[in-house]
């Protein structure tokens, strides 16, 4: 259901209806003329105020009715003049981007080419540490994308004649199509609505002329400038992009937010689709997830991440509840040597009985479900004491460590086999069992050999499989269909294949 958007704002940043009517009188003229008229009115009000003050008939320090009226009139004109100045600045930026954008991009490309040539000449002449080539600020495609959005967002008041200035400055939700408060099926946050100076006529024309494309996640068809383009060239609506960023902050297997294995950072035009709160959380989580061997508050009612600057020696001080945690055993700080953690030892005994393994870097416990002994990605709780059966392993560990599941040592430092034969054939049996009836005659050994050859599968090709299936990554049960990798036969939901693998 659409959210109704109400407005108690008027264009001059005040609440006086008379000033709104005054601004309506400027709708039919260019901004420069309007600015001149307003400045003349301000000058006249100042002269009248000064002349009335020289008469000296009133009490000292008390404004007369005439002076009070002139003062209010001057303030209203100043507010209106500020709006005109803002519009002039917006138009100037818009025109500069439209006329000079390509020239600036070409100039930057030439500067980078010259810098690369100089770097090569310095290397040839024997300079061991040549100057670094400056990175490009923005690519040509991204520049075109930004200009397209600027052109869609900017409105020239002289080209359209709204019914009233209040209508032209109405608060419109980003992506509105006759349905205020909702841009698509993702139910965007009303707090993220943008104030757009636009008449209904121009909005209708813009909606008809702008191309439409589907959101990669929700498949809602939207205007091109309503979609954020990520590095892999896929496009997301604001709601889906915010959902992805929010999910990545509670699930470290989704962090950093990514699509097609390319990280999505909250910079450029992507930033305009995210709230300041989400960006702040992202920056905080980036520090947390980039920290190896993280320490969390030992207070079970808090459990917040403790940053490195709050760790002295083996003691980590929580800034929220003031609990001090031992960075070695991850329990409440203690004096002397770290005592044996009996609860942790019990968990390690269970892990040994069930043939679980522990990451040498972040000390997480994992259980190998399918795949070879090369461990690179762990879906586990942050603390080893919270480990439970059924933990799955894929891609890479949040701490970026790689290890052998058979012995727990760093990868390529042992002589263990690439595969456990029993686990390999169990996986091959599962793959054969899900094949169509005629294809089930394929020998399990051949399927096992194919799995062993694709243990480092990049999942380049997927096909949709109808029916009720469970995602082998997040364990979510999908009622209608799932995606299956044509190389390694992994089954994954849309979110996992796009953002987790």
Model pLDDT for residues 25-46, shown as the tens digit of each residue: 666 678 888 888 888 988 988 8
Of residues 484 and 26, which shows the higher confidence score?
484
Residue 243: predicted pLDDT:
92
Same domain? For 446 and 490 the reply is: yes
Tell me the CA distances in angstroms from 269 to 9, 181, 191, 225, one per residue in order: 27, 21, 18, 10
> CB-hemisphere CA count at 13 Å for 460?
4
> CB-hemisphere CA count at 13 Å for 216?
20
Q: What is the pLDDT of residues 257-309, one digit of tens each?
A: 999 888 898 877 788 888 889 999 999 888 888 888 889 999 989 989 999 89
- Could you tell me whether strands 374-375 and 403-404 are parallel, antiparallel, or unpaired per DSSP bridges? antiparallel
Does pLDDT of 58 surpass 70?
Answer: no
Q: At 101, is the secondary structure helix, strand, or coil? A: helix
For residue 260, being part of any structural domain is answered with no
The two three-digit tokens of residue 450, written as one number: 């194919």
For residue 126, being part of any structural domain is answered with no
The model's pTM: 0.49
For residue 162, being part of any structural domain is answered with no
Same domain? For 485 and 441 the reply is: yes
Total domains, the chain: 3
Share of the chain above pLDDT 90, in %: 9
- Segment holding 226, helix H or strand E: none
Residue 433: predicted pLDDT:
77
Does pLDDT of 333 surpass 60?
Answer: yes
Q: Are 474 and 395 in contact (CB under 8 A)?
A: no
Q: At 4, is the secondary structure helix, strand, or coil? A: coil
Residue 60: predicted pLDDT:
67
Of residues 461 and 343, which shows the higher confidence score?
461
For residue 311, being part of any structural domain is answered with yes
Same domain? For 312 and 356 the reply is: no
261 sits in the region (left: phi over 0; alpha: psi -120 to 50; else beta) called left
For residue 312, being part of any structural domain is answered with yes
Which of the residue ranges 17-26, 214-223, 423-432 would you say has the lowest mean pLDDT? 17-26
For residue 317, being part of any structural domain is answered with yes
Same domain? For 490 and 447 the reply is: yes
For residue 348, being part of any structural domain is answered with yes
Residue 457: predicted pLDDT:
79
Q: Are 223 and 207 in contact (CB under 8 A)?
A: yes
Cis amide bond preceding 256, omega within 30: yes
- Structural domain for 377, as ranges: 342-404
Alpha helices by DSSP H, listed for 312-391, are: 342-353
Does pLDDT of 353 surpass 90?
Answer: no
Q: What is the pLDDT of residues 391-408, one digit of tens each?
A: 444 445 556 678 888 888
Of residues 411 and 14, which shows the higher confidence score?
411
Q: What is the pLDDT of residues 219-270, one digit of tens each?
A: 899 888 788 889 888 999 989 999 999 998 888 788 889 998 888 988 777 8
For residue 438, being part of any structural domain is answered with yes
Residue that finishes a domain, picked among 404, 439, 456: 404
Q: What is the pLDDT of residues 116-162, one digit of tens each?
A: 888 788 777 776 555 555 554 455 555 566 555 655 555 444 444 33
What is 116-141 written as a DSSP string?
HHHHHHHHHTT-SSPPPPPPPSS-HH
Query: In which band, very low, low, confident or very high, does the pLDDT at 50 lie, cut at 50, 70 and 90?
Result: confident
Same domain? For 310 and 353 the reply is: no
């Amino acid at each position: 259901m659409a959210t109704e958007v109400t407005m108690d704002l008027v264009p001059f940043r005040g609440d006086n209806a008379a000033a709104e009517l005054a601004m309506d009188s400027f709708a039919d003229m260019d901004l420069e003329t309007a600015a001149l008229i307003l400045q003349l009115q301000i000058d006249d009000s100042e002269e009248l105020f000064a002349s009335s003050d020289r008469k000296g008939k009133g009490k000292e320090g008390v404004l007369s009715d005439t002076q009070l009226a002139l003062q209010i009139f001057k303030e209203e004109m100043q507010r209106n003049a500020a709006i005109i100045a803002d519009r002039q600045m917006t138009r100037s930026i818009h025109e500069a981007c439209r006329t000079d954008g390509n020239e600036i991009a070409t100039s930057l490309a030439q500067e980078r080419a010259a810098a690369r040539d100089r770097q090569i000449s310095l290397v040839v002449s024997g300079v061991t540490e040549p100057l670094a080539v400056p990175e490009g600020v923005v690519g040509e495609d991204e520049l075109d994308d930004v200009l397209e959005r600027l052109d869609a967002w900017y409105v020239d008041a002289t080209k359209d004649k709204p019914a009233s200035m209040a209508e032209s400055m109405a608060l419109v939700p980003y992506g509105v199509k006759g349905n205020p408060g909702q841009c698509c099926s993702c139910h965007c946050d009303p707090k993220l609505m943008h104030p757009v100076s636009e008449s209904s006529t121009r909005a209708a024309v813009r909606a008809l002329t702008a191309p439409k494309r589907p959101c990669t996640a929700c498949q809602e068809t939207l205007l091109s400038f309503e979609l954020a383009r990520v590095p892999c060239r896929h496009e997301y609506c604001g709601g889906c992009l915010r959902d992805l960023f929010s999910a990545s902050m509670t699930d470290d297997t989704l962090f950093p937010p990514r699509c097609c294995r390319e990280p999505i950072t909250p910079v450029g035009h992507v930033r305009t689709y995210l709230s300041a709160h989400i960006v702040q959380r992202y920056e905080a989580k980036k520090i947390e997830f980039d920290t190896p061997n993280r320490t969390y508050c030992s207070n079970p009612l808090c459990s917040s991440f403790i940053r490195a600057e709050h760790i002295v020696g083996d003691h980590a001080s929580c800034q929220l509840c003031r609990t001090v945690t031992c960075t070695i055993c991850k329990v409440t700080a203690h004096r002397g040597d770290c005592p044996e953690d009996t609860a942790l030892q019990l968990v390690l005994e269970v892990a040994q009985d069930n043939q679980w393994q522990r990451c040498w870097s972040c000390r997480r416990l994992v259980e190998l479900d399918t795949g070879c002994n090369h461990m690179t990605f762990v879906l586990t709780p942050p603390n080893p004491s919270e480990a439970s059966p059924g933990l799955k392993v894929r891609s890479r560990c949040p701490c970026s460590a790689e290890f052998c599941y058979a012995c727990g040592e760093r990868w390529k430092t042992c002589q263990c086999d690439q595969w456990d034969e029993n686990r390999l054939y169990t996986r091959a049996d599962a793959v054969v069992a899900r094949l169509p009836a005629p294809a089930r005659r394929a020998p399990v050994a051949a399927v096992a050999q194919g799995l062993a050859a694709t243990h480092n599968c990049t999942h380049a090709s997927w096909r949709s499989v109808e029916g009720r299936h469970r995602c082998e990554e997040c364990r979510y049960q999908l009622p209608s269909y799932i995606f299956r990798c044509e190389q390694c036969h992994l089954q994954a939901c849309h979110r996992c294949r796009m953002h987790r693998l």
